[in-house]
Amino acid sequence: MGLAGIPPPPKYARRALAVVWPVGAAAITGLATPVIVAGAFHSFVDKRARLFRVSVLGVGLVWVDVRMLLETWRLSLKNPHREGPEWEDDHEAVFLAGLNRAMILAKQWVGFEVKLDGRMHFGSETAPLVAFARHAGPGDSLALAWLLGHTAGRMPKIVLAEALRWDPTVDALLTRMRSYFVPSRTGAGDDRVAGVRELARGLKDDDVLLLFPEGQNFSQGRRRRLIDRLREAGHELRARRAISLWNVLPPKTRGVIAVLDERPDADVMIVAHAGFGQLTTPKEIWGAIPFTDRPFLVQTRTYAAGSIPDDAAGIETWLDDHWTEIDEWVTTVES
C-alpha cells in the first residue's frame, strides 16, 4: 500500500500525539534498554553488532525527534502570535540542527555516510532552486534534505506524504516551515498538485523545493506494477522506456510540470544517488549493517532557469531522459 494509502491522523489524534509522544519516547527507551543490553552481549556472536547498533540508533533518533518537538513548544511560547520573519527562521534552525544530529548518530552507529560524486552546483544566488531526486533506499529523504541544507546552503521545502503527520514532530515542524503534505489516496476530492504549486509559488531565493518524482521508494515489485499501469493507461511508449530502467521507477510528471510552470525562474537540480537502492526489505537492510563500506553516493546536475523545456510534453521527455541517465549511472556505480 505504501504511505500514500495511509490516511492522516484526525485533528484530535494529532493534538493527543503531540502531548503523549515524549511520554511514549520514555516508555520506548525503557523497553529498548534490555534489547540494547542483549545486543551488547550478542555482539560477541555477531561481530557486526547489528542488534546493538540498531537499538542504540533507534533510541537516539527517538530522542532527536522529541527534542525537536520540545523546541516547537518553546517557539510557540516565545511567539504566541506565530508571526513575523523569525517564526519560520527559528523553526528552520531547529530542523537543520535535528537533521545534523540524526546524521551524526547514523554515521556513528551504523556507518551511514553521505559522499559526493563530483562538485555540487547550487544555482544562482538570486533565484530559488528546485531539486528532483531519485527515491530509493532507507533514509534517502533525510540524507538529501540534510545535504541540501548544510552543503548547498538552501532551506529544504519538502513534498511528503500526509501519513507522516502521525509523527507529531514532522507534523508541527514541517507544517510551520511551509512544506507540503500530499493528501493520501483516501482523501477524495483533494487536488494533489495544487499544494505543490502553492509551495513552489512561495519559494524564496535561498530555498530549495525537494521533490521525488517517483513518489515512492524503488522496489522491483513497484517497478513492475507501474509499468503495467502505464500500459493500461495507454502510455505504451513510456512503458517501453520504463522497462529499460532497472534501478529507478518511471517518474511521475504532474508535480514536476506544476512546479516548473509555477516557477520558470527557478534553477533545477537533478539528484541521483547510489549505494542503497537495492536495500528494499528489512532483511536486506539488516544484512548490510554497518554501512562502512557502502557510502550514500550523491551526484547532482544543475540547470539554469530558462534552459529547460516549458511545455508539458517537453518536460516529460526531459525528465525521462534524466531518469535514464540516473539509471545508467547507478548501474555503473553499483556494478
Q: For residue 327, give every residue at least 6 positions away whose Cβ sits within 8 Å of its Cβ, in sequence order, or none.
A: 244, 245, 246, 247, 248
User: CA 49, 53, 54, 59 torsion: positive or negative?
Assistant: positive
CA distances from 300 to 99, 128, 152 (A): 20, 16, 11
Report pLDDT digits (tens) over 51-67: 999 999 999 999 999 99
Contact, 272 vs 330, CB < 8 A? yes
Range of the domain at 262: 3-334
In this prediction, residues 212-220 reach a mean pLDDT of 88
Categorize the per-residue pLDDT at 95 as very low, low, confident or very high, splitting at 50, 70 and 90: very high
Does an H or E element contain 182, and which?
Answer: strand 180-182
Query: Is the model's pLDDT at 280 over the cut of 60?
Result: yes
Q: What does the alpha-carbon distance between residue 163 and residue 184 come to, in Å, rounded to a whole number?
A: 7
Phi-psi region of 160 (alpha: psi -120 to 50; beta: other; left: phi over 0): beta
**Number of domains observed in the structure of the chain:** 1
pLDDT value at residue 2: 58
Q: What does the alpha-carbon distance between residue 74 and residue 171 come to, in Å, rounded to a whole number?
A: 16
Mean pLDDT (the chain) is: 90
Query: Is the model's pLDDT at 251 over the cut of 80?
Result: yes
Q: Cell numbers 528552520 correspond to what residue?
A: 92
